[in-house]
Structure 1
Amino acid sequence: MKLRKFLFLLLFILSASVASAQSSSELKRKKEAIQREIELLQRNLKKTANNKKLTLGQINALNTKISLMQNKITVINSEIKNLDNQIHENTNTVINLKGQLGKLKKDYGAMIRFAQRNKNAYDKMMFVFAAKDFNQAYKRIKYLQQFGQYRKKQAGYIQGTQKDLNYKIVILDKNLKEKSSLLHEQENEKDILGKNKTAQSAVLNKYSKQEKQYQRDIASRKKQQAQLDRSIRAAIVREIELERRRAEEAARVAAAKAAAKAKAAAEAAAAKAKAENRPAPVIPAAVAAVKPKASGTYLAATPEAAKLSAAFESNRGSLPWPVTSGSITESFGKHKVGQANYDNAGVTIQTAEGAAVRAVFNGKVSKVGNALGLYYVLIKHGQFFTVYQNLRSVSVSAGQDVSTKQNIGSVGSSGDVPELQFQIYRGAVAQNPASWIAK
């Protein structure tokens, strides 16, 4: 019974260790992903380090980099906490195994001493022959056999427990080394973060000296961006209007056919009544009323468009990113830098120079345009639209069908850093892309 309890405890500890290892693996992957984003932003900042003129892209990249570094330190703290739990569990396991090993050795020693005292074959035979009857003699023989087997089992248990103990000591030593390495990494990251905060302060100081010029630059660029966004919304509204006209024309054609069919039926009924010399029946005229619909429903009027819209919406939170690597440096909604206020209709993603841009879902290219010296692509997904701005080249054309993750162009530099402006619309209403793309 004691052995079963010990084995159950050992199994529980091993299961906890596996779960903890999985958690450690997830934390390691998260830390590596954050580090890749930091390195990408660092490369972009390094290219612009000698620029005398400060840009919004530089400030956003530096702020995002600092935020990511703080996140990385948080992940390292979680790794250390996780290791502390493992060290605590493994220490307890080592203590329990040592206790079990000591008891097993003590019991085994008692058996050996007993066996030494009764090792004479003559004593064993006397023990058997001293039985009162044959049945008791048989039981004494079986007892001697079982005693010998039990000694072998106990020796096996001792060897197994010693092996488990040695393994756990090795794991515990590895945990302690990993913790030491993580603590060193944590200190190193804090030191780098401090240097980056110093750089951030220098940038903000530079910004304060150039504030008026900087605000004028932001205002000018965001004015151009707002004009482009209005142009894109206008294109979407035209698309909705075109679908509305198509739907209403289809409804009118259907109504005309229904009216003609009703008229033919009425004429046939009247001719039959005249031939039978009886009054013609009164058949009400078919009235076809075209009911107005919400603007978005026109975009999903056909079964194919409705299916595409539903599929797009069902993938909310799991759409692929429009680039394979990058960081969101400017979020959706209203922003303020100094006295400059502006609205972002999507998210700004800094990525590698010339990075491939991908369609996030199946759809049809509605428009390919040119603005601010760069291209943009508008793709229709039923009643949804996705917009990809700041492209230096485009590999699709209007009317072309595209599939999920298909390359549609490459990223250009907005100001001095490579960044993609990505937007999602439901009808003509802008959505927050961060809640649609995968985390």
Structure 2
Amino acid sequence: MKHTQLYIYILLGFLLSTLSLDAQSNKQKALEQQRQQILKEIKEFRAILQGKKKEEKSEISLIEDLTYKVRKRQNLIRVTNEQANLLTREINTNQKEITSLRTQLQELKDDYAAMLVKAYKSKSEQSKVMFLLSSDNFKQAYKRLQYIKQYANYQKEQAEAIKAKTKELQDLNIQLSKQKEDKQKLIEENRVAKRELEKELKEREVLMASIKSDMSKFAAQIKKKQQEADRLDKEINRLIREAIAASNKKAGKATSTGKFVLTPADKIVGDNFESNKGKLGWPVSRGVIKSKFGKGRSLTDSSVEVNNPGVKIATEANADVKAVFNGEVSKIVIVKNGNPAIIVRHGNYLTIYTNLSKIYVKSGDKITTGQVIGQVFTSKSSGEAMLGFRIYKNSQKLNPQYWLAK
């Protein structure tokens, strides 16, 4: 009974520790994926900046670039800290497990040693034969024979259990050593990241101080950019309403719900688009999301809140813009004092590509996934190329980051 309980406790302890370690391991993998994605974005943005023209950039552009880098660096440090802290917890868990395993191993060895001593005292074949022959009847002799076999099997099981527990202990020691190395590596990488962050924060501080004397001029520039963005949003929303109304009228089902009435063919396209959520190709070959969807803080002035209807992707100068999915060009958007945009329909979904310099399609064109439909506008003074990308379901704005492939 004592041995059975010992095995049950060992088994339960092993299962619980395995489940805990698996959960920690999965979280560690998720954090590492997140860290690698941030590192990739930092590298990509650095490459984009190096590829820009060498003309002097505006102070606003410089501040936006530095703010983006600072935010990415802060996020990298946060994720790396989480990884290091999780590793610390895993190391502590494993050290406790090693202590427990050593105790269990010693108990098994003590138990096995006692068994060997007992076996030694009655080791002769003669004593076993006498043990059987001294039975009162055949039934008792049979039971004694079964006992001898069970005892021999139990000895083998104990030996195997000691071997297995020793191997488990060795594996855990190797794992612990690897975890300590990983933690040290993360700590060192974080030191480097913090030094880079301090450098970027100082650069931004110096730049912000240099423009304080002429804040009115930069405030006017920011206001002008916001007015242009507002005009574009207003025009896009108007064109979407018109497109829905025209499509529904053509289908003979005029409605004011703000939703497309879908034909069977339109429904297939919309369903296919929806099934590719998180798998859509990027609208440019190379780029990083510099401004996220929804409410956030301005890259220029952190005290100012902005509400982006899509994402802004920093990319290479004169980059080609590609359709993210099969569809039909619904509208070409032209606004006064602004750059054109393209609205592409995919059933009851719309993708919108803004801040273009060239357009290679026209309204009504059928387009395919990956087809080049235009070119991103590139600032002559700074070399900055920024594509605006949006996704709508009917007239509802969606977060493109949930739809684009990682």
Q: Which amino acid is 1:300 matched to?
A: V
Q: Write out per-residue CA displacement over residues 242-285 of structure 1, whole angstroms, 9 at most, x where no aligned residue.
A: 557757xx68xxxxxxxxxxxxxxxxxxxxxxxxxxxxxxxxxx
Aligned position for 1:23: 27
Is residue 323–residue 373 contact of structure 2 (8 Å, CA) maintained in 1? yes
CA distance in 1, matches of 2:304, 2:176: 56
Candidates 387, 399, 422, aligned match of 2:364: 399
Deviation of residue 20 (structure 1)? 2.1
Q: 1:379 and 2:340 equivalent?
A: no
Aligned position for 1:114: 118
Matches within 5 A, 1:339-350: 346-350=310-314
Q: 1:300 and 2:261 equivalent?
A: yes
Q: Write out per-residue CA displacement over residues 167-212 of structure 1, whole angstroms, 9 at most, x where no aligned residue.
A: 1111111111111211222222222211111111122123324434
Is residue 325–residue 370 contact of structure 2 (8 Å, CA) maintained in 1? yes
Is residue 41–residue 288 contact of structure 2 (8 Å, CA) maintained in 1? yes
- Structure 1 stretch displaced more, 78-87 or 354-363: 354-363
Q: Which amino acid is 2:352 matched to?
A: V
Deviation of residue 28 (structure 1)? 0.8
Gaps of 5+ in 1: 252-291
- Structure 1 stretch displaced more, 417-426 or 66-75: 417-426
Deviation of residue 109 (structure 1)? 1.0
Percent identity, aligned pairs only, is 28
Evaluate the alpha carbon distance shift between residue 191 and residue 109 of structure 1 in structure 2; reply closer, same or farther with a 3 A threshold: same
Aligned position for 2:291: 329
Q: Which amino acid is 2:374 matched to?
A: G
| Normalised TM-score (structure 2) | 0.80
Q: 1:182 and 2:152 equivalent?
A: no
Gaps of 5+ in 2: none
Candidates 406, 411, 417, aligned match of 2:384: 417
Q: Which amino acid is 1:350 matched to?
A: A
Is residue 363–residue 403 contact of structure 1 (8 Å, CA) maintained in 2? yes
State the secondary structure of the residue aligned to 2:123.
Answer: coil
Q: Which amino acid is 1:326 matched to?
A: V
Candidates 56, 61, 67, aligned match of 1:63: 67
Deviation of residue 215 (structure 1)? 3.5
Q: Write out per-residue CA displacement over residues 131-189 of structure 1, whole angstroms, 9 at most, x where no aligned residue.
A: 33443333333333332222222111111111111111111111111112112222222
State the secondary structure of the residue aligned to 1:296.
Answer: coil
Identify which of structures 1 and 2 has the higher relative contact order when contacts are C-alpha pairs closer than 8 Å and 6+ apart.
2
Deviation of residue 392 (structure 1)? 4.3
Deviation of residue 419 (structure 1)? 1.0
Q: 1:144 and 2:148 equivalent?
A: yes
- Structure 1 stretch displaced more, 28-37 or 334-343: 334-343
Evaluate the alpha carbon distance shift between residue 86 and residue 122 of structure 1 in structure 2; reply closer, same or farther with a 3 A threshold: same
Evaluate the alpha carbon distance shift between residue 40 and residue 210 of structure 1 in structure 2; reply closer, same or farther with a 3 A threshold: farther
Aligned position for 2:328: 364
Q: Which amino acid is 2:291 matched to?
A: T
CA distance in 1, matches of 2:138, 2:257: 101
CA distance in 2, matches of 1:11, 1:334: 45
Deviation of residue 11 (structure 1)? 2.7
Q: Which amino acid is 1:117 matched to?
A: K
State the secondary structure of the residue aligned to 2:118.
Answer: helix
Q: Which amino acid is 2:361 matched to?
A: V
Is residue 311–residue 390 contact of structure 2 (8 Å, CA) maintained in 1? yes
Matches within 5 A, 1:4-15: 4-15=8-19
Is residue 52–residue 316 contact of structure 2 (8 Å, CA) maintained in 1? no
Matches within 5 A, 1:204-215: 204-215=208-219
CA distance in 2, matches of 1:17, 1:342: 42
Evaluate the alpha carbon distance shift between residue 368 and residue 4 of structure 1 in structure 2; reply closer, same or farther with a 3 A threshold: same
CA distance in 1, matches of 2:305, 2:146: 93
Q: Which amino acid is 1:418 matched to?
A: A
Deviation of residue 13 (structure 1)? 1.8
Q: Which amino acid is 1:328 matched to?
A: K
Aligned position for 1:388: 353
Is residue 376–residue 387 contact of structure 1 (8 Å, CA) maintained in 2? yes
CA distance in 1, matches of 2:250, 2:212: 55
| Normalised TM-score (structure 1) | 0.75
- Structure 1 stretch displaced more, 177-186 or 410-419: 410-419
Evaluate the alpha carbon distance shift between residue 356 and residue 87 of structure 1 in structure 2; reply closer, same or farther with a 3 A threshold: farther
Q: Which amino acid is 1:123 matched to?
A: S
Task: Count residues in correspondence.
Answer: 395
Candidates 95, 106, 128, aligned match of 2:132: 128
State the secondary structure of the residue aligned to 1:326.
Answer: strand
Evaluate the alpha carbon distance shift between residue 19 and residue 433 of structure 1 in structure 2; reply closer, same or farther with a 3 A threshold: closer
Deviation of residue 64 (structure 1)? 2.0
CA distance in 2, matches of 1:49, 1:409: 21
CA distance in 2, matches of 1:131, 1:411: 98
